[in-house]
Amino acid sequence: MNHNTKDTHNLFSQYLSEQNLRMTTQRELILKTFCKQKKHVTAEQLYEVLKKVDPTIGHATVYRTMKLLTEAGIARELNFGEGSVRYEPDTSKEHHDHLVCVKCGENIEFLDEEIENLQKRVVTKYGYELVDHSLNLYGICPKCQKS
């Protein structure tokens, strides 16, 4: 499920040194905390969690580090149209899309090979080179249908 923290730490260290950047205690802590999260978090939510561990940490550091983690391929930005970006671990090999409940926010990750293949077909048809894609299905979950 979750990334193995050691793996991502190595990945991040490698990315940083390639870019002539440094591993710092803050970046280590942010990565570790991010990987522990069970849900897709916003930078702000992650900041709130981090403050409990290290009250001196700053907003900007969280934002800057999440950007780095995204560039390193460790995190992935999700946009559900809420006004702020959410992040999930980016395990490229386990790509998936999202089914979000518009009432309670419950969030299911799914993967449908057929949809993936059809997407590639569309892209090819127009001569594009696929870089990324985002498929969000918005609905009402079984619980919310009852209430």
Q: Which residues bind a copy of itself (CB under 8 A)?
A: 77, 79, 81, 85, 99, 101-102, 108, 110, 112, 114-115, 118-119, 121-123, 126-142, 145
Q: Which of DNA, a copy of itself, none binds 128 (CB below 5-8 Å, type-dependent)?
A: a copy of itself
Work out whether 33 is an interface residue with DNA (CB under 7 A).
no
Comparing CB distances to a copy of itself, the nearer of 23 and 85 is 85
Comparing CB distances to a copy of itself, the nearer of 53 and 135 is 135
Beta bridge partners of 76: 88
Work out whether 21 is an interface residue with DNA (CB under 7 A).
yes
Q: How far is CA 44 from CA 4, 27, 62, 90, 141, in A?
A: 24, 16, 8, 19, 26
For residues 95 and 112, give the distance between their C-alpha atoms in angstroms, rounded to a whole number.
10
How would you classify the pairing of strands 97-101 and 107-110? antiparallel
Q: Which of DNA, a copy of itself, none binds 24 (CB below 5-8 Å, type-dependent)?
A: DNA
Nearest of 36, 35, 9, 38 to residue 24 by alpha carbon:
9
Q: How far is the CB of 105 from DNA (least distance, A)?
A: 13
Task: Tell the burial category of 114 from Cβ atoms under 10 Å away from its Cβ (0-12, 13-18, 19+).
Answer: exposed
Comparing CB distances to a copy of itself, the nearer of 36 and 67 is 67
Q: Which residue has the tokens 């309670």?
A: 104
Name the site residues for DNA (rule: CB under 7 A).
16, 20-27, 42-44, 54, 56-61, 63-65, 67, 83-85
